[in-house]
């Protein structure tokens, strides 16, 4: 469980360059064990900064954050936090350290001093879970984008984490790669891992149980994805893309068609439309 | 021209030859010793032995010869250049040709030949190491060979990690360079004409973005490594274990025989 | 006129163990003044194809003609092609290098030999086209946001006033608002200046919304061409090639399943769906 109380953050160095100062302010948030949480918001809204607070890569400048009761301000606890909270980054290339799949998955385990026999076992398990069997000796630059991201996931899985954060991890992938990573996320969630997915894609966010929308360093909306997308306000429309079926539904409702806001996907909307139109 | 169309000099070629299977530590020690003893050669017989050994090495590696020759292309220019210098400036023996103030003398020509041959032997042997050893084995071998020197302050782990990361990112940065060159070419950059100064200047629009990108990657990678619990070499375990087999023993015996052979043939 | 590609093949690293056939016998036409999308998954050859059109790769076999310039495997200089074609690769902001935005945008046109007042005018024009105000001119491109840097880079290409603009994944990494704004600007330029645009994209929705013609690439071959309606009626094939339907076409497919084949195929945007359903609801649709 990740808990944030009154958390704020400002980057110290950026001020001097005169560039835009990115700040998080007054964030209260609890992420429960096993939850599937999506985070959306325009670029520069503080999504990634917040994610980096979750695993102690950054420390809050105001307020407190705990991960399973551990405090990232304590040097010994921050390493345990990083084991528990894994992170898949946006650029697949810039997170792979080693020159083969096998060695890269081993990297985190080696860092923690896991014994060799256990390493071998955990790596086999992780490779099978992300479906990279047969590519153990492949070099990273011979992998596709989706495979690279699954390699990153395997490296985290081997650490037996409780939370995995995907920081725009699908944004540089093609449709196939996206599908691969989303499928992996769903499986992880079903197996009990907490999944936090930062994304610009409304369709991807729909898979989550809860969505938070960040604007200018604050949490502006919080609820189920369907609730949030169904209340199109200027603020939300500017910051987000809304799934097409909801966009269409709300347009038709504004035109006076009596459609409910219950449909949770395209098929359900079509069912309702069929009912409405076939009545004549 | 696409950067992708020219394989990097000595880029690893996966395979299962005897050379591929040798312990990387053996290969590193063998090749470095071999590179030193190349300088023992002083006559036709000794050079003949070295050519033979190197030739056998190339054969055993199973790497296609034309790939090695292609990789050598840029090296040939360097060889021609040094050979040229020797031909012109090493004096002694019979004067073979004189053109105004320039003379080509017998000793110069011989020297140029030997030096070129030696250079070629060094490069091909070096290539054999990198062609048959994956970068991870290479760095691993280096780290373990260096680790006894940790006590006297040699940062074996850090050096190996640095090397491994560099090797990991060579293909990435290579592609990136190609992309930036193309992007600037599409904006009308001309890298081929004008004086040397002009040409060097024309690469600024390539070098700046390349540095910026390399630094950005380094920053992101450092973050990712930290996120995966990296905190230096202390207390780390290793997935890879290296073990010597009888092949390695044979290699060292072979090396000894070569050295003895060279010493003997030197005085013939 | 326009672009004609004939029997184009390209092999990388021929004669090495790393040999790769990136393009196989591709024929393709792009009409002058049209908006064309090229779709395909990673490794389908689309990037190699646009590099030929942009005059950055020489065909292994086959030829291509861009306006009045023809290139084949024997062509010595590719540079003449580049006069016609401007290209913004993926993440074009990674090619910025100058101290100021204005200087960076001026790089392309000044390589074309443009100087003085005309150069300054080109820079202003480029900035205006991508929606950068004058205040950006003297700022360092490295201190801008990602979206702003992207615009500077594209302005640098536009300032060369190419007849053909090639955009490789122009919206990758931008947020939805940034994506919409950028593509709307490009589309407007295409219409106002009848500039030929070739858009390479992973987003089916972008292709559906803007393209007149879509070419689909798969494993080095051009496997399908046609209008968005024609291309997006081939759902199974697209999925097999690692692509998908745009969300609107997906919903349209569901509608056809439920309401029958009277639902037209050309409902590829939310606006088209809205209009069709509203009209049908009102009972005003044509039989």
Give a yes or no: residue B143 inside a domain: no
From chain A, pick out residues whose CB is under 8 angstroms from the CB of C281.
252, 257, 276-277
Residue B80 has, within 13 A of its CA and on its CB side, a CA count of 6
pLDDT of residue B3: 38
Could you report how far apart the first and last alpha carbons of chain A are, in Å? 52
Measured between CB atoms, does C142 come within 8 Å of chain A? no
A positions 138-197 inside 8 Å of C (CB): 144-145, 168, 171-177
Q: Where are the domains of chain A?
A: 2-232, 243-280
For residues B168 and B230, membership in a common domain is answered with yes
pLDDT of residue A21: 67
pLDDT tens digits, one per residue of A166-207: 999 999 898 889 999 999 999 999 999 999 999 999 999 999
Identify the active-site residue in A35, A168, A204, A272: A168
pLDDT of residue B185: 93
Tell me: pLDDT of A19 over 60.
no
Tell me: pLDDT of A279 over 70.
no
Cα torsion C192, C197, C203, C204 to 10°: value is 90
Q: Are A101 and B136 in contact (CB under 8 A)?
A: no
Q: How confident is the model at residue A17 (pLDDT cuts 50, 70, 90)?
A: low
Q: Which residues pair with A194 in a beta bridge?
A: A163
Q: What is the DSSP code (8-state) at residue C76?
A: S
User: Average pLDDT of B209-235?
Assistant: 92
CA distance B61 to chain C (A): 14
Structure token pair of residue A105: 């998955």
Using CB atoms, pick whichever of C12, C14, C56 lies closest to residue B186.
C56
Show which residues on chain B lie within 8 Å of chain C, measured between beta carbons.
2, 4-7, 13, 64, 66-67, 70, 176, 179-180, 182-190, 204-205, 208-209, 212-213
Tell me: pLDDT of C283 over 90.
no
Number of domains composing chain B: 2
pLDDT tens digits, one per residue of B4-51: 444 556 678 888 888 999 999 999 999 999 989 988 888 889 999 999
Q: How confident is the model at residue B171 (pLDDT cuts 50, 70, 90)?
A: confident
For residues B129 and B255, membership in a common domain is answered with yes
Q: What is the DSSP code (8-state) at residue C90?
A: S
Give a yes or no: residue B148 inside a domain: no
- Tell if the CB–CB gap between B135 and A115 is shorter than 8 Å: no
CA-to-CA distance for B165 and B143, rounded, in angstroms?
13
Give the nearest chain A residue to B238 (CA atoms): A110
- Tell if the CB–CB gap between B188 and C89 is shorter than 8 Å: no
Q: Are C91 and C173 in contact (CB under 8 A)?
A: yes
Calculate helix-pair angle for B44-61, B106-132, nearest 10 degrees. Answer: 20
From chain A, pick out residues whose CB is under 8 angstroms from the CB of C259.
273-274, 277-278
Measured between CB atoms, does A29 come within 8 Å of chain C? no
Give a yes or no: residue B11 inside a domain: yes
Q: Mutate which of C14, C87, C94 to test chain B, going by most B C-beta atoms within 10 A?
A: C94
CA distance A86 to chain B (A): 7
The CA-atom distances, in angstroms, between C249 and each of A250, C89, C204, C257 are: 18, 28, 10, 12
Q: Mutate which of C11, C13, C16, C163 to test chain B, going by most B C-beta atoms within 10 A?
A: C16
CA-based nearest residue to C87, from A193, A138, B187, B114: B187
Give the nearest chain A residue to B219 (CA atoms): A94
CA distance B179 to chain C (A): 8
Q: Are C216 and C223 in contact (CB under 8 A)?
A: yes
Rounded mean pLDDT of chain C?
A: 93
Give a yes or no: residue B150 inside a domain: no
Structure token pair of residue B213: 């990108």
Tell me: pLDDT of A82 over 50.
yes
CA-to-CA distance for C135 and C124, rounded, in angstroms?
11
Total CB pairs under 8 A between chain B and C: 73
CA-to-CA distance for B222 and C279, rounded, in angstroms?
57
pLDDT of residue C97: 95
Give the nearest chain C residue to A258 (CA atoms): C281
From chain B, pick out residues whose CB is under 8 angstroms from the CB of A120.
239
- Tell if the CB–CB gap between C251 and A244 is shorter than 8 Å: yes
Total CB pairs under 8 A between chain A and C: 99
Which SS3 state, helix, strand or coil, does residue A77 take? helix
Q: How confident is the model at residue A241 (pLDDT cuts 50, 70, 90)?
A: confident
- Tell if the CB–CB gap between A270 and C145 is shorter than 8 Å: no
Number of H helices, E strands in chain C: 11, 10
Give a yes or no: residue B174 inside a domain: yes
A positions 209-268 inside 8 Å of C (CB): 238-241, 243-245, 247-248, 251-252, 255, 257, 266-267
Sequential DSSP letters for B168-190: HHHHHHHHHHHHHHHHHHHTT--
CA-to-CA distance for C131 and C155, rounded, in angstroms?
9
Q: How confident is the model at residue A154 (pLDDT cuts 50, 70, 90)?
A: very high
Tell me: pLDDT of A12 over 80.
no
Q: Around Cβ C194, how many Cβ atoms within 10 Å? A: 11
Place of tokens 């071999």: B34
For residues B218 and B249, membership in a common domain is answered with no
CA-to-CA distance for B237 and A111, rounded, in angstroms?
7
pLDDT tens digits, one per residue of A42-80: 988 999 999 999 999 999 999 999 999 999 999 889 999
Domain that holds residue B64: 1-133+241-268
Give the nearest chain B residue to C56 (CA atoms): B182
Give a yes or no: residue B262 inside a domain: yes
From chain B, pick out residues whose CB is under 8 angstroms from the CB of C108.
187-188
Q: What is the DSSP code (8-state) at residue C135?
A: G
Sequential DSSP letters for C28-63: EEE-TT-EEEEE--TTSSHHHHHHHHTT-S--SEEE
pLDDT tens digits, one per residue of C37-93: 999 998 899 999 999 999 999 999 999 999 999 999 999 888 888 989 999 999 999
- Tell if the CB–CB gap between A243 and C274 is shorter than 8 Å: no
Residues contacting C67, CB < 8 A, separation 6+: C1, C2, C3, C32, C84, C163
Q: Where are the domains of chain C?
A: 246-287
CA-to-CA distance for A24 and A47, rounded, in angstroms?
9
CA distance C182 to chain B (A): 20
- Tell if the CB–CB gap between B168 and A99 is shorter than 8 Å: yes
* Percentage of residues of chain A with pLDDT beyond 70: 93
CA distance A187 to chain C (A): 21
Give a yes or no: residue B145 inside a domain: no
From chain B, pick out residues whose CB is under 8 angstroms from the CB of A151.
none
Calculate helix-pair angle for B156-186, B135-146, nearest 10 degrees. Answer: 150
pLDDT tens digits, one per residue of C65-77: 999 999 999 998 8
Q: Mutate which of B3, B61, B184, B187 to test chain C, going by most C C-beta atoms within 10 A?
A: B187
Q: Are B41 and B50 in contact (CB under 8 A)?
A: yes
Q: Mutate which of C169, C179, C248, C274 to test chain A, going by most A C-beta atoms within 10 A?
A: C274
Using CB atoms, pick whichever of C56, C85, C107 lies closest to residue B182.
C56
- Tell if the CB–CB gap between B183 and C96 is shorter than 8 Å: no
Calculate helix-pair angle for A116-130, A101-111, nearest 10 degrees. Answer: 130
pLDDT tens digits, one per residue of B61-82: 988 888 888 878 878 888 888 8
Handedness of CA C12, C15, C16, C18 (dihedral sign): positive
Number of H helices, E strands in chain B: 10, 2
Residue A204 annotated to the active site: no
Show which residues on chain A lie within 8 Å of chain B, measured between beta carbons.
52, 55, 57, 79, 82-83, 86-87, 89, 91, 93-100, 102-103, 106-116, 119-120, 123, 137, 139-141, 155-156, 159
Give the nearest chain B residue to A52 (CA atoms): B227
- Tell if the CB–CB gap between A115 and B231 is shorter than 8 Å: no
pLDDT tens digits, one per residue of B147-158: 888 888 888 888
- Tell if the CB–CB gap between C277 and A277 is shorter than 8 Å: yes
For residues B164 and B249, membership in a common domain is answered with no
CA distance B102 to chain C (A): 38
pLDDT of residue B8: 56
- Tell if the CB–CB gap between B66 and C15 is shorter than 8 Å: yes
Write the secondary structure of B101-167 as one string of H (helix), E (strand) and C (coil).
Answer: CEEEEHHHHHHHHHHHHHHHHHHHHHHHHHHHCCHHHHHHHHHHHHHHHHHHCCCHHHHHHHHHHHH
CATH number of A2-232: 3.10.450.50, 3.90.78.10, 3.40.50.300, 3.30.70.360?
A: 3.40.50.300
Using CB atoms, pick whichever of A171, A175, A203 lies closest to residue C242.
A175
pLDDT of residue B92: 77
Write the secondary structure of A84-135 as one string of H (helix), E (strand) and C (coil).
Answer: HEEEECCCCHHHCCCCCHHHHHHHHHHHCCCCHHHHHHHHHHHHHHHCCCCC
């Amino acid at each position: 469980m990740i808990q944030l109380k009154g958390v704020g953050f400002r980057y110290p160095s950026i001020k001097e360059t005169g560039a835009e100062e990115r700040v998080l302010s007054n964030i209260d948030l609890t992420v429960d064990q096993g939850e599937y949480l999506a985070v959306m918001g325009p670029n520069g809204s503080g999504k990634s900064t917040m994610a980096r607070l979750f695993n102690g890569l950054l420390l809050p400048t105001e307020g407190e954050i705990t991960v399973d009761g551990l405090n990232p301000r304590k040097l010994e606890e921050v390493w345990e936090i990083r084991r528990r909270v894994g992170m898949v980054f946006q650029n697949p290339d810039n997170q792979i350290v080693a020159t083969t799949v096998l060695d890269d998955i081993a990297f985190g385990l080696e860092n923690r001093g896991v014994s060799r026999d256990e390493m071998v076992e955990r790596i086999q398990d992780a490779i099978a879970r992300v479906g990279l069997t047969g590519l153990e000796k492949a070099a990273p630059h011979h992998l596709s984008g989706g495979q690279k991201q699954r390699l990153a996931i395997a490296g985290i899985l081997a650490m037996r984490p409780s939370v995995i954060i995907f920081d725009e991890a699908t944004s540089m992938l093609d449709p196939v790669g996206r599908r691969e990573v989303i499928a992996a996320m769903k499986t992880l969630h079903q197996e009990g891992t907490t999944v936090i997915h930062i994304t610009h894609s409304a369709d991807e966010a729909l898979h989550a149980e809860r969505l938070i929308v960040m604007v200018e360093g604050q949490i502006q909306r919080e609820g189920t994805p369907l609730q949030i997308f169904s209340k199109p306000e200027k603020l939300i429309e500017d910051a987000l893309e809304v799934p097409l079926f909801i966009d269409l539904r709300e347009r038709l409702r504004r035109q006076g068609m009596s459609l409910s806001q219950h449909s949770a996907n395209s098929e359900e909307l079509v069912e309702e439309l069929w009912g409405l139109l076939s009545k004549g | 021209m696409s950067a992708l169309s020219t394989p990097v000099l000595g880029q690893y070629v996966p395979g299962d030859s005897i050379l591929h299977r040798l312990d990387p530590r053996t290969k590193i020690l063998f090749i470095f010793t071999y590179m030193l003893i190349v300088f023992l050669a002083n006559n036709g017989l000794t050079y003949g032995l070295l050519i033979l050994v190197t030739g056998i090495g190339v054969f055993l590696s199973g790497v296609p010869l034309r790939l090695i020759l292609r990789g050598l292309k840029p090296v040939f220019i360097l060889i021609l250049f040094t050979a040229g210098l020797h031909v012109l400036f090493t004096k002694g023996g019979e004067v073979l040709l004189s053109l105004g103030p320039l003379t080509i003398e017998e000793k110069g020509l011989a020297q140029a030949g030997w030096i070129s041959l030696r250079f070629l032997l060094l490069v091909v042997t070096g290539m054999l190491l990198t062609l048959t050893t994956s970068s991870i084995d290479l760095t691993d071998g280096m780290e373990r060979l260096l680790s006894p020197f940790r006590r006297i302050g040699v940062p074996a782990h850090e050096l190996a990690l640095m090397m491994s990361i560099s090797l990991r990112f060579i293909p990435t940065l290579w592609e990136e360079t190609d992309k930036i060159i193309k992007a600037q070419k599409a904006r009308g950059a001309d890298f081929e004409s004008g004086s040397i100064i002009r040409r060097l200047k024309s690469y600024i629009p390539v070098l700046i973005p390349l540095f910026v990108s390399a630094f950005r990657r380094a920053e992101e990678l450092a973050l990712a490594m930290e996120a995966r619990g990296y905190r230096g070499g202390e207390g780390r375990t290793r997935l890879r274990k290296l073990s010597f087999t009888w092949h390695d023993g044979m290699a060292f015996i072979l090396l000894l025989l070569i050295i003895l052979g060279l010493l003997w043939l030197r005085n013939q | 006129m326009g672009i004609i590609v004939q029997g184009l093949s390209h092999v990388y690293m021929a004669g090495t163990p790393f040999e790769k056939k990136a393009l196989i016998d591709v024929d393709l036409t792009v009409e002058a003044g049209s908006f064309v999308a090229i779709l395909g998954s990673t490794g389908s050859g689309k990037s190699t194809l646009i590099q030929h059109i942009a005059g950055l790769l020489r065909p292994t076999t086959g030829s291509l003609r861009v306006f009045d310039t023809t290139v084949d495997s024997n062509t010595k200089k590719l540079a003449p092609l580049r006069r016609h074609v401007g290209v913004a690769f993926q993440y074009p902001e990674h090619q910025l290098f100058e101290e100021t935005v204005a200087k960076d945008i001026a790089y392309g046109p000044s390589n074309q030999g443009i100087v003085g007042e005309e150069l300054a005018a080109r820079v202003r024009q480029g900035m205006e086209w991508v929606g950068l105000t004058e205040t950006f001119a003297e700022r360092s491109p490295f201190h801008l946001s990602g979206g702003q840097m992207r615009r500077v880079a594209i302005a640098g290409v536009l300032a060369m006033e190419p007849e053909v603009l090639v955009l490789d994944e122009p919206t990758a990494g931008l947020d939805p608002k940034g994506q919409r704004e950028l593509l709307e600007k490009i589309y407007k330029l295409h219409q106002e200046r009848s500039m030929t645009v070739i858009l390479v994209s992973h987003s089916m929705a972008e292709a559906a919304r803007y393209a007149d013609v879509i070419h689909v690439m798969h494993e080095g071959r051009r496997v399908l061409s046609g209008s968005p309606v024609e291309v997006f009626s081939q759902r199974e094939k697209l999925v097999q090639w690692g692509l998908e339907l745009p969300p609107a076409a997906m919903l349209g497919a569901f509608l056809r399943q439920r309401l029958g084949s009277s639902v037209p195929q050309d409902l590829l945007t939310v606006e088209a769906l809205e209009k069709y359903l509203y009209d049908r609801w009102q009972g005003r649709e044509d039989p």
